[in-house]
Structure 1
Amino acid sequence: MMADHFKVKPLPYAYDKLDGISKQTNTYHHDTHYAGYVKKRNEILDKLAAVDRSLANANYSEFGGMKRHETFNAGGQLLHELFWDVLGGDGKPTGEVLRHIEKSFGSFEKWVEDFRASAMVALGWVVLAWDPTDDNLYNFTGDAHNQGGVWGTFPLLAIDVYEHAYYHDQGPARAKYIEAYLKNINWSEVNRRYRIFSKITGEFRASC
């Protein structure tokens, strides 16, 4: 019997809460796509407990296949949780994150311009992340759940640009979906994450 190492988190608001992202899209996206990544991650973890590691090699092995799919499904789980956690707001930027965006991009409008462009070219995700090594924020693109992430940075928000996130509502008009995402950002939640990461960053620098 498969163990529930990870559980599907409920959507943090009603399925019909988001302006421009329909109840049906949220239902498909959360209950099928996201839940599927959680299920497969649990399944892989169970199988990893019993796989023969002595046969591992760089060409092909059962262990290698599992490890690659482990990162894909783990990324799919965690990125989707971040995606929904930072939505449900009014899209109006405030607080420490706004000031840091202005520092890193010159203005909020320039960040939006860069974010829109990044979301148009990415095949999977765009993540606004804080790089503590130079204290700047960046919009990083990723073409898969396990590709494009920059280790050592702190993710503040994420947009899913796989077609399943918007085709039911906007068809191929991805730009309309990006605008819907921007006007639903919960900047209070983004600021909450920022404060947590700020504390971690401060402690890290103090220890160096």
Structure 2
Amino acid sequence: MAKHPVKALPYANDALKGIGAKTIEIHHDKLYAGYVNKRNEIEEELTKVDRSKANQIYSQMRGLKHEETFAANGQILHEIYFDVMGGDGQPAGEVFDKIKEDFGSYATWEEDFKAAGMCARGWVVLAYDPTDGRLHNFIGDAQNQGGVWGAFPVLPCDTYEHSYFIDYGSDRKAYIEAFIRNIKWGEVNRRYLAAANMALAKK
């Protein structure tokens, strides 16, 4: 079985504004890499598990399948999270127009994104929902809780404490503002267009 690789950062650890090199080093090299490694480990264990003993109350099968979603989403969301940072924070492209269309204005979207980030225990994710053709700010209290199936994440922000505690202590608001200043809107736009085009192709 092919192993999931740990993706390299697309920028130096110290390249971001207001998010320090130590935070990025730990976040990427330890936490994110840990999700990838555990996903690989779980997938290997699933090839050997006794499926005849699967049980909804407790079984090895249930435990592995449950944690598979946690590790997989941890890998996927972190890869997008790192990819959408490293920019100048200036919104542009079709996704900028779509944000204004769906939220009324960019300022309204940003206010909603920040508020969602303040109340999320794990993630706030700007995602494209093909069922209504709109962008939404969804929250998740864990990597495998709160996601909307079928929606495409285009801009996830990690709101777990490990994302900001070294730099900001408990000041999550300041971290979210720093995250927004580092958004690489070209990458967000690429992801939005890919999601919208995929949805159109399925109609």
Q: Is this a same-fold pair by TM over 0.5?
A: yes
Q: How many residues align?
A: 203
Partner of 1:5: 3
Instruction: Report the secondary structure of 1:126's partner residue.
Output: strand
Q: Which runs of 4+ in 1 moved over 4 A?
A: none
Separation in 1 of the partners of 2:116 and 2:195? 23
TM-score, structure 1 length as denominator? 0.96
Separation in 2 of the partners of 1:63 and 1:89? 42
The CA deviation at 1:147 is 0.6
User: Cα RMSD over matched residues?
Assistant: 0.8
- The runs of 5 or more residues in structure 1 that have no matched partner are none
Deviations 1:117-136 (A, max 9, x none): 00000000011001112111
The CA deviation at 1:198 is 2.1
**Would you say the 8 A contact 2:130–2:196 is kept in 1?**
no
Deviations 1:77-96 (A, max 9, x none): 00100100100000000010
Match of 2:20 among 2, 19, 22: 22
Partner of 1:48: 46
**Would you say the 8 A contact 2:128–2:196 is kept in 1?**
no
Partner of 1:129: 127
Separation in 1 of the partners of 2:133 and 2:190? 18
The CA deviation at 1:24 is 0.4
Match of 1:87 among 85, 88, 96: 85
Separation in 2 of the partners of 1:48 and 1:183? 41
**Would you say the 8 A contact 2:36–2:75 is kept in 1?**
yes
Partner of 2:165: 167
- The runs of 5 or more residues in structure 2 that have no matched partner are none
Partner of 1:155: 153
Instruction: Report the secondary structure of 2:136's partner residue.
Output: strand
Partner of 1:195: 193
Partner of 1:57: 55
Is residue 30 of structure 2 the alignment partner of residue 32 of structure 1? yes
Amino acid at match of 1:88: G
Deviations 1:170-195 (A, max 9, x none): 00000000000000000000111112
The CA deviation at 1:199 is 1.6
Instruction: Report the secondary structure of 1:45's partner residue.
Output: helix
The CA deviation at 1:4 is 5.5
Amino acid at match of 1:28: I
Identity %: 55
Is residue 71 of structure 2 the alignment partner of residue 73 of structure 1? yes
Separation in 2 of the partners of 1:122 and 1:166? 14
